[in-house]
Structure 1
């Protein structure tokens, strides 16, 4: 049994990712092995967790993952001294309908796993009133374990004293108080945090965050507050791979794929062969399928359009073997991508899809799909669960729809994905949603 904690917050933007990274790095510096997890559909934070902790981080998702899958995911914690999970959005924020084991809210995960919640509260512009917020979060779901709070963005010693007085009166434990510190703020991108591999000063930021958290948080008290999970740790998860030798696009333009998928493919015996479209590389000719993850192709559209070796090789590959793309990878498989300035860039042309980033429109939420046609690793008629997050818009989609897609509330989603068959038996498929797993 491994003890765990879940770091959450009342809302996004309160600093919980920075606090989580600081804790991971500080604990690592103390020789404590911590297994990180991310609660909810996020493909950026786990890479930061991995950099801070030295252990691969994985997603846990109550809407998309059944209980046995969640238990399987805990196999990655073997040998760790502590589990530290980071929540997403606000603690109770999820969808209106229950999925596999919950609504996707971080509170679901804390309750399922028995991990006490440590709430990071941005106390800017308030003092004793912050205690009312903390008390509401502690009491809203009595079955959810609650440990206490970390106060963030403290303005002065007087401010801290007032906030602590309110928390003491409410019976809320304070594990630490963090002054404002712009030196450990992570830069942001148009879809959220910049990717870990794109940040050249990440190691410096992590060192500063570790020292900052160690100086202002009672880490020994946090460790004592952790509780052992009651979920049985099962065998490692084995997900159906799209092939046994998978050519995987992997660079700054194509990096958004859930870590548990890659691990599941490897556990099933598949070999992953990474290549870089931005480096003008094509899929390995020994591969039996190709997978293009999501990412930021719109920021690199000119370079992709000029990568003649990549375009030539992936077109030849797709003539006889399956190629699948998710979100950004789906866009790169299309005929063209129009960037934010309205410039059209020719893409691989494996599909007729034309997408535009010129007029931003957010598409966000869980997705459940029933495949009308087979895609790599999944037969026709299969149910899949995933998540969609992008700002691009489809201008033209002439190919056959890949699936019938609905959101978490059952409403039909127009982004159905695409399918096109090629001359020598190859098949090109793509979806805007990122695959998390099968629907039970």
Structure 2
């Protein structure tokens, strides 16, 4: 059976969702409650922190990119848990203008589809009874979304909390907790957001502090009692076609961004994943039938990658007869040159002619739809794919044949087409700036 769930959301980013989510996961775990975490939207980093806090793999749920069968299959991972907690992205109702497969990417879509009541985190600083007006608006915005209650964040004093509770009582809204002002969970920031969970040396301490803070200031029993859900049985997981039977997968601090549902889907399809580390100057296993370079932070390790001669010669040899695919950072590492933020040019693998630079950053963010011009690992020519792009690289040169016709969520064509190159031995290099999420139904 699928356990009941809740959507942890807020009016906007920076309100305290992550503080509450990680604290709840760690606090319930300390009580012996098994919680299955999910992340709404195309976020790479939060699921790893969820996994560290809960002890269970966290999966992305995205209403724009995924169809209903895919979403239901992913929620099936909650079998055996006592409770589902899903962390939203941005504001509860924030999404793109043109809907996708099951919605516009808003956290509210997932809450409505799964019947998960919303726990709304509200920044209470600078107001008192008026905070209830915000909560009331969120309660009434969509009839298919239920508000379980609110958790007040950045409460200044007991008197401040009392005044806010008066407003909430008047509006008929349940207060599930009140968090006094304190420093948020400390996780150093990087140019693309927070560091990865594997790089956070004091993560156990952070999670312990968050668990204590949340347990002290949130009514955990009331919050758990508010959970609900319409999905009761687990459907068969949506099929994920792996890029090969034996996949040489780059995995280290430079290449870490693979959506958990894709990895799980590859394993479920019987594929074997063979990790290797370009930063450690390792080469893809020659017995693999495909090499996959995921996204990450190659620009922060460009000098080390440039010096990894065994890796470079090994992947060049592999690509002569077998397919190699890269996403975002992996795509950049497959190119010829990567210029770091200081303007230093570093030699990359040279499988493609792509040249990128971080000296003058340009922000690229948003959903992407792609129609393939040719085959790429796991997907045939003319396949339609959905994904998400998030990077600051400037393209200096993208001379190879375009891999796909790519548009944004509004069906406006974008310049980042990806690249493909075929080698004399029959191998092929392909790459995209977007991270694949799912096939277009």
Q: TM-score, normalised by structure 2?
A: 0.98
Query: Aligned residue for 2:318?
Result: 317
Distance 2:186 2:7 in 1: 21
Query: Aligned residue for 1:302?
Result: 303
Distance 1:375 1:210 in 2: 44
Distance 2:55 2:230 in 1: 22
Aligned pairs, number: 440
Aligned-pair CA distance for 1:230: 2.8
Query: Aligned residue for 2:403?
Result: 402
Give CA deviations for 1:18-75 in whole Å, capped at 9, x if unaligned. 2101000100110011100001110110000000000000011110111011111122
Distance 2:428 2:106 in 1: 37
Query: Aligned residue for 1:177?
Result: 178
1:183/1:205 contact within 8 Å kept: no
CA distance 1:292–1:66, change in 2 (3 Å): same
1:2/1:229 contact within 8 Å kept: no
Corresponding position: 1:72 with 2:73 = yes
CA distance 1:344–1:122, change in 2 (3 Å): same
Corresponding position: 1:379 with 2:380 = yes
Query: Aligned residue for 1:224?
Result: 225
Query: Aligned residue for 1:99?
Result: 100
Query: Aligned residue for 1:131?
Result: 132
Corresponding position: 1:162 with 2:181 = no
Distance 2:323 2:116 in 1: 42
Distance 1:308 1:416 in 2: 29
Query: Aligned residue for 2:193?
Result: 192
Corresponding position: 1:23 with 2:27 = no
Identify unmatched segments of 5+ residues in structure 1: none
Corresponding position: 1:215 with 2:225 = no
Query: Aligned residue for 1:283?
Result: 284
Distance 1:252 1:162 in 2: 47
Aligned-pair CA distance for 1:185: 3.1
The Cα RMSD (Å) is 1.0
Distance 2:375 2:329 in 1: 21
Give CA deviations for 1:265-323 in whole Å, capped at 9, x if unaligned. 11111000111111111111111000000011111111111111111111111111100
Aligned-pair CA distance for 1:401: 0.1
Identify unmatched segments of 5+ residues in structure 2: none
2:246/2:290 contact within 8 Å kept: yes
Aligned-pair CA distance for 1:187: 2.4
Query: Aligned residue for 2:42?
Result: 41
Q: TM-score, normalised by structure 1?
A: 0.98
Deviates more, 1:209-218 or 1:138-147: 138-147
1:71/1:231 contact within 8 Å kept: no
Query: Aligned residue for 1:359?
Result: 360
Aligned-pair CA distance for 1:103: 0.4
1:4/1:229 contact within 8 Å kept: no
**Could you say what secondary structure the match of 1:374 adopts?**
coil
Aligned-pair CA distance for 1:166: 1.6
Distance 1:231 1:306 in 2: 53
Distance 1:365 1:184 in 2: 27
Aligned-pair CA distance for 1:183: 6.0
Distance 1:183 1:294 in 2: 28
Query: Aligned residue for 1:241?
Result: 242
Distance 1:130 1:323 in 2: 53
1:368/1:384 contact within 8 Å kept: yes
Aligned-pair CA distance for 1:229: 2.8
Aligned-pair CA distance for 1:231: 6.4
Query: Aligned residue for 1:428?
Result: 429
1:18/1:186 contact within 8 Å kept: no
Distance 2:156 2:192 in 1: 29
Aligned-pair CA distance for 1:232: 4.8
Distance 1:426 1:232 in 2: 44
Aligned-pair CA distance for 1:252: 0.8
**Could you say what secondary structure the match of 1:420 adopts?**
strand
**Could you say what secondary structure the match of 2:25 adopts?**
helix
Distance 2:142 2:72 in 1: 23
